[in-house]
Amino acid sequence: MALKPGKNTLAAAAAAALMLALAGCGEKDRAASSGDLPEVAPSRATNTGTYPPGEPVKAKFNEFENATANTYHQPDIPKGASDETLVQSEGGGTTVSLKLEGLVPDREFGAHVHVNTCGADPDQAGPHYQDKKDPETPSVDPAYANPKNEVWLDFTTDQDGNAQAESTVDWQFREGEGRSIVIHATHTMTEKGKAGTAGERMACINIR
């Protein structure tokens, strides 16, 4: 049966056009998050928790407070170096992946998921996210500060300054916590009294 052009057809056409426009926007957002990024990704600049769960998020490091990826330490983590993060929850567990490009070559770094979002002050990210919280702070007891109770993502850059790390734990983040990955100056220590520490905070990436 052929449709006569009428009100309903026009309404349907308008709806279709609207859908196309919406799809177009989505396409643009996706392109912005995976391709040529502005220095500050505007849609994620306000840390409102709009990161899509289970989808990779790409960003470039810069020096601004509200960026997805912040560097506090050039040139080791230069402005313009890029990162890709992925947080996946499955079967009660969580896998966090981190890929980096364009850092200083052949260098060890520590990295962990921290409680809060990043800020201009590196301390704003707060302490490490812990599944079972250490009653003592700062937490340097290996019973709590360990890679099963926290998410550790230590890495060493290759000769091109690239690296990747991944960690799987058998729990999920509490709502509103575990919102950033902080990159530190050294690999993470494990001995009592120092467990979980990894030196200066050199960069911070918002993840959720």
70 Rama sector, left if φ>0, alpha if ψ -120 to 50, beta otherwise: beta
The distance of closest approach from Cβ of residue 32 to Cu ion in the complex, given in angstroms and rounded to an integer, is: 28
Nearer to Cu ion, 28 or 194 (CB): 194
Q: Which residues of 18-32 are buried (b: 16+ CB within 10 A; e: fewer)?
A: eeeeeeeeeeeeeeb
- Of residues 165 through 194, those in contact with Cu ion by CB under 5 A are 182
Compare residues 112 and 179 and give the one whose CB is closer to Cu ion.
112
Q: Please, which residue, 112 or 208, has the CB nearer to Cu ion?
A: 112
Q: Burial-class residue 133 by CB neighbours within 10 Å (0-12, 13-18, 19+).
A: middle
112 binds Cu ion (CB under 5 A): yes
Residue number of the CB atom closest to Cu ion? 112
Residue 96 engages Cu ion in binding (rule: CB under 5 A): no
Provide the 3-class DSSP secondary structure of residue 15. Answer: helix
Question: Rounded to an integer, what is the distance from CA 18 to the centroid of its chain?
Answer: 32
Shortest Cβ 44–Cu ion spacing (Å)? 21
What residue ranges bind Cu ion (CB under 5 A)? 112, 182
